[in-house]
Amino acid sequence: MRKQTFGVGLIGFGTAGRIFHAPLIQATPGLELLAVVSSSPERVHDVLPEVDVLPKPAALFARPDIDLVVIASPNETHYPLAKAALAAGKHLVVDKPFTVSLSEARLLKAEADKAERRVSVFHNRRWDSDFRTLQALVAEESVGRPVSLELRFDRFRPVVAGRWREQHKPGSGIWYDLGAHLLDQARTLFGMPRAILLDLMAARDGAEVDDEFHALLEYDALRVILRASSLVAEPTPQQALHGTRGSFVKYGRDPQENWLKEGRTPTREWGVDQSPGQLTLAEGSDGSLVTREHQGLPGDYLAYYVGIVEALASGAPVPVSVEEGIEVMTLLEVGLDSYRQNRWIRLKENNGGSLRQLHRHG
């Protein structure tokens, strides 16, 4: 008999667990959040009074009513926790980035294959309104053949916070945080690039790790620029797509994160962005340029966990595969290699597989 509801255990109740995972799990038919692993039970019960709070992950793994474990703890814990959960026979959702190294990501794939468990990486920004809109524009060739795309994720956070993401820890810094999102978006649109060039900077007073990056991805007749900074007060275009027929430029970010922070209950396709983009195309026999507002598609973070239920219930593909998570890890590591060597690094197909081997560019 097909199981109707899957028990979920969540590890971590920081920003990722509390703001993103817990509300989305609770709003998804077919999932029941039963337990949270946290050292602060009062904090959990303030939001989730009916959920069990466990002090250690091992207690969660031992529970037979837990089918799916969601790992939303610091990046350096992803690999050991995921490995232990797989050994206990649990299916997995791992927050991005998948692990802190490519070698760990490959080992986890082998563990998942051996355990015959479903594993997915939480790259939720694929379901941002602005990215869904951009995906549709690229698929429809609305600006012709794309030749340049810039994706930005800027914030103004001038004071360094006492968080693990801003301390010298494995997987900390803005490249592993926001870079993982933008790299996943780029590879979702265009696949793996031929080469990457990365510059990192610790720009803020007292910064211990990178808080700004500028990456350039090389494709055939296309360049993708990825940028993020913690010191941008004036809004910049989040997306700038240029092609052989025109351009699409978008200011303003998808509203779903802010709505989740406000405690709103997520629904399917709730993330209607009130900031339309500008689509400028060459029209008419004289090729004159015409600019129009272009209303975006709604955002839909809930679609990720709906996809998880479908994968567990019927064997459908998970929303973000382990292989895709590994490709993002590949790009994160290649980018760091580029920064350390101060040069382009080319990616080469490895025997036709999804992973790449590296050699110097040029």
Number of helices (H), then strands (E), belonging to the chain: the values are 10, 16
pTM of the predicted model as reported, rounded to 2 decimal places: 0.93
In a domain, 324, yes or no: no
Query: Does the structure show a pLDDT above 60 at 153?
Result: yes
Give the pLDDT of residue 242. 98
Strands (E), 46-170: 52-54, 68-71, 91-95, 119-122, 146-154
Residue 154, strand partner residues? 229
Could you tell me the pLDDT band of residue 191, with boundaries at 50, 70 and 90? very high
Contact call for residues 133 and 143 (beta carbons, < 8 A):
no
Write the CATH number for 16.
Answer: 3.40.50.720
In a domain, 347, yes or no: no
Q: What confidence tens digit (pLDDT) does each residue in 58-75 have?
A: 999 999 999 999 999 999
* Tokens, residue 60: 């969660």
Question: Residue 49: CB partners within 8 Å, gap ≥ 6?
Answer: none
196 lies in the same domain as 236: yes
In a domain, 359, yes or no: no
Beta-carbon-side half-sphere exposure of residue 50 (alpha carbons within 13 Å): 5
227 lies in the same domain as 192: yes
In a domain, 244, yes or no: yes
56 lies in the same domain as 94: yes
Give the pLDDT of residue 358. 41
117 lies in the same domain as 135: no
> Could you give the strand order of the β-sheet that contains 212-219, starting from the edge strand earlier in sequence?
288-294, 277-283, 246-250, 239-243, 146-154, 222-229, 212-219, 195-201, 345-349, 356-360
90 lies in the same domain as 136: no
Q: With pLDDT > 70 as the criterion, what percentage of the chain qualifies?
A: 95
197 lies in the same domain as 117: no
In a domain, 261, yes or no: no
- Using the 8-state DSSP alphabet, how is residue 44 labeled? H
Q: Whole-number mean pLDDT of the chain?
A: 93
The DSSP secondary structure of 336-361, one letter per residue, reads HHHHHHTS-EEEEESTTSS-EEEEE-
Give the pLDDT of residue 203. 96
Query: Does the structure show a pLDDT above 90 at 163?
Result: no
CA nearest 110: which of 353, 328, 326? 326
Cα dist from 85 to 22, 61, 89, 190, whole Å: 19, 6, 7, 33
Write the CATH number for 276.
Answer: 3.30.360.10
What's the domain count of the chain? 2
Query: Does the structure show a pLDDT above 80 at 357?
Result: no
Question: Residue 200: CB partners within 8 Å, gap ≥ 6?
Answer: 173, 175, 210, 212, 213, 339
Tokens 């296309």, located at residue: 222
Strands (E), the chain: 6-11, 31-37, 52-54, 68-71, 91-95, 119-122, 146-154, 195-201, 212-219, 222-229, 239-243, 246-250, 277-283, 288-294, 345-349, 356-360
In a domain, 184, yes or no: yes
176 lies in the same domain as 285: yes
Give the pLDDT of residue 44. 96
70 lies in the same domain as 151: no
In a domain, 355, yes or no: no
Query: Does the structure show a pLDDT above 90 at 353?
Result: no
294 lies in the same domain as 145: yes
Quote the domain boundaries for residue 64: 6-124+303-318
194 lies in the same domain as 271: yes
For range 188-208, the mean pLDDT: 97
In a domain, 136, yes or no: yes
- Using the 8-state DSSP alphabet, how is residue 56 labeled? S
